[in-house]
Amino acid sequence: MRELIRWALAPGTRTWAAASERGFGDVFMPTDAPQAHSAGVESDRILILGSGLAVGRGVVSHNLALPGSTRSCWSWG
């Protein structure tokens, strides 16, 4: 039964994925290195996973994206 559902939904899922990927063609993406650094000797390393906001869609620098804004919120030094 599970294979039948997968077989029935696969073409629609592929079409939706291709159409949604085309919709991001005109959205800004960061061009700098995908990392943000915090000053200090005891800084923490945080791994941010995901897509969209995590990769910086809509901004031109990772310092303006979620990693950079997280760095500036937790940097007290």
Domain count across the chain: 1
Q: Please say whether the beta carbons of 38 and 74 come within 8 A.
A: yes
Query: Which regions of the chain are under pLDDT 70?
Result: 21-25, 70-77
One-letter identity of residue 21 = E
Q: What is the pLDDT of residues 66-76, one digit of tens each?
A: 777 766 565 55
Tokens of 10: 């696969």
pLDDT at 40 (0 to 100):
72
pLDDT at 75 (0 to 100):
53
Contacts 24+ apart (CB under 8 A), 5-10: none
Q: Please say whether the beta carbons of 27 and 57 come within 8 A.
A: yes
Query: Whole domain around residue 65: which residue ranges?
Result: 2-74
Q: How far apart are CA 11 and CA 68, in angstroms?
A: 38
